[in-house]
Each structure stands twice: as structure tokens, then as C-alpha cells.
Amino acid sequence: MTERGLLIVLSGPSGVGKGTVRKAIFDNYNNDFDYSVSMTTRKQREGEVDGVDYYFRTKEQFEHLIREDGLLEYAEYVGNYYGTPLEYVNKTLDEGRDVFLEIEVQGALKVREKMPEGIFVFLSPPDLEELNSRIVNRGTDTHEMIEKRMTKAVEELKLIQYYDYVVENDTVNNAARKIRNIIESEHLKVTRNLKEFAEIIEEME
Ligand SMILES: Nc1nc2c(ncn2[C@@H]2O[C@H](COP(=O)(O)OP(=O)(O)O)[C@@H](O)[C@H]2O)c(=O)[nH]1
Ligand SMILES: Nc1ncnc2c1ncn2[C@@H]1O[C@H](COP(=O)(O)OP(=O)(O)O)[C@@H](O)[C@H]1O
């Protein structure tokens, strides 16, 4: 039987750098895990590719999938839906491959309830001022949206206690390296557990 893959969930407040750090992990390391592309109803930004950055869908299509139980989790985030297609996650884990999710905190908590065996990593900003300037510098949000994101971020930071690991996004490369190390050490744990298990069985025989 193939050993089930690990589910890795990267979350944290909007604007902290989740997308940037995720990209660095996938670009800089020879990864043996797959990225789960999310579905969203938000507008496609310039340069974004459907099926690569997100599956861009209408509200009706998204709500249809909710009714069909086709999402592992979903959240409404500043006026749009975001969700994780369930089938891809289950299929990939069953094949023994790790799956990497990059989602906001409400969704991450829902995944924690459904799949507590996952590895939950909270990406934190060095401080709130830096978070604000990252959102401003990104240049994708109106003034009103930035205010909304910051208010939400303060609430989201309070949920840090539900995570297995907290990684400060000081520099992108540092954060990517730390997350990569976490995944490797979690794999070693699984291997060790399996070895210990095999030894126990051997002793029993
Ligand atoms: N719950 C949930 N959140 C998601 C999903 N995909 C993306 N997000 C999060 O939704 C938030 C808004 O995403 P987006 O509009 O792309 O903004 P950006 O990631 O801040 O550029 C971010 O915090 C994403 O991490 C998903 O499948 N489920
Ligand atoms: N370690 C970092 N130092 C400085 N700027 C960063 C860092 N990580 C991300 N950024 C910048 O912060 C902004 C928000 O990052 P993004 O990845 O879109 O965040 P999120 O996906 O969490 O909403 C982007 O402009 C990005 O270039």
C-alpha cells in the first residue's frame, strides 16, 4: 500500500507574503509536492493564468460546487469566494504525494477540523507596519480595501495558536527555507514512526 502524502497548509494574514513565499518554495527547491490550485470568484489580475494561479469561476459556478460538496473548504474573503477543490487533494494524497495549500486563515481552520493530520504553518509579518506597507506596495488594492485587509489581519493574527508552526516572513528566501526545513523534518518524523512501528512488530514476532 502506498503511504499517504502529507498535507501542508500555509496560511496567515493577507499581504503577509504567502503567495510570494509559496512561489519561492516552488521555484527554488526541487520539490516533491504538488500545489493545489484554488478556485475563486475574484477578478483575474493582469498576468494571472486560469488554472495556474487560480481557477477563475463565476459565483454561480462556485456555489454549484459548494452544493456538490466539491470543496475541501471555502471562505468568503473581502467580497469573493475562495476554495480548495477536494478531488485533487484526495487523489494526490492517495497517490502518496504531498499537497501544498496556500489559503487564508478561516479556510485553514476548516481544513484543520477535517484533516487534523495536516501540517499547519502560519506565516507572520515582522510587524503590522511592515504588513501595511507590503499591501500598499503591492499596488493591487484601493485605499478602502487596504483598510479592510488590515482590520482583518489583526483578527487573523489572533488565530496563530491553532498552528503547528509559526514562520516569520522576514526575507522571502529565509521564510521559504524555513518552511522547506519544516516539511523535511515532518517527513523524517513519519519515516521514524514507521521504522519504530516496524521494530515493535518485529519484537512481537
Ligand atoms: N480559504 C481559502 N483561501 C484562499 C484560497 N486560495 C487563496 N486564498 C486566500 O485568499 C486571500 C485573498 O487572495 P487574493 O485575492 O489572491 O489575494 P492575495 O493572495 O493577497 O494576492 C489570500 O489570503 C489567499 O491566501 C482557498 O482555496 N481557500
Ligand atoms: N519578505 C518580504 N519582504 C518584503 N516584501 C515582501 C516579502 N514577502 C512578500 N513581500 C511583498 O508583499 C506583498 C504581498 O505579498 P503576497 O505574496 O501577495 O501576500 P499574500 O499572498 O499573503 O496576500 C507583495 O508586494 C510582495 O512582493
Asked whether the predicted pLDDT for residue 1 surpasses 70, the reply is no
Task: Please tell me if the CB atom of residue 98 comes closer than 6 angstroms to any atom of ligand 1.
Answer: no
Sequence ranges of the binding site: 12-19
The ranges assigned to domains in the chain are: 7-36+98-204
Nearest CA to ligand 1 atom 28: 83
Query: What distance in angstroms lies between residue 92's CA and the mean position of ligand 2's atoms?
Result: 28
Task: Please report the ipTM that was assigned to this predicted complex.
Answer: 0.94
Give the integer Cα–Cα distance in Å for 55 and 58.
10
C-alpha separations of 200 from 1, 29, 187 in Å? 19, 35, 20
Asked whether the predicted pLDDT for residue 16 surpasses 80, the reply is yes
pTM here is 0.91
Q: Which atom of ligand 1 is nearest to the CA of 75?
A: 1
Q: 83-87, 98-102, 189-193 — which is least confidently predicted?
A: 189-193
Asked whether 10 and 102 are in contact (CB, 8 A), the reply is yes
CATH class of 7-36+98-204: alpha beta
The residue-averaged pLDDT of 88-98 equals: 95
Q: What pLDDT, in 10s, does the model give residues 116-166?
A: 999 999 999 999 999 999 989 988 889 998 998 899 899 999 999 999 999
Query: What pLDDT does residue 77 have?
Result: 86
Q: Interior CA angle at 15 toward 11 and 20, to 5°?
A: 75
Q: Which atom of ligand 1 is nearest to the CA of 53?
A: 16
Q: Which atom of ligand 2 is nearest to the CA of 139?
A: 25
Asked whether the predicted pLDDT for residue 65 surpasses 90, the reply is yes
Q: What residues pair up with 82 in beta bridges, in sequence order?
A: 40, 75
Percent of the chain with pLDDT over 90: 79
How many CA atoms lie less than 13 Å away from 82 in the CB half-sphere? 23
Q: What pLDDT, in 10s, does the model give residues 161-184?
A: 999 999 999 999 999 999 999 999
The length of the chain in residues reads 205
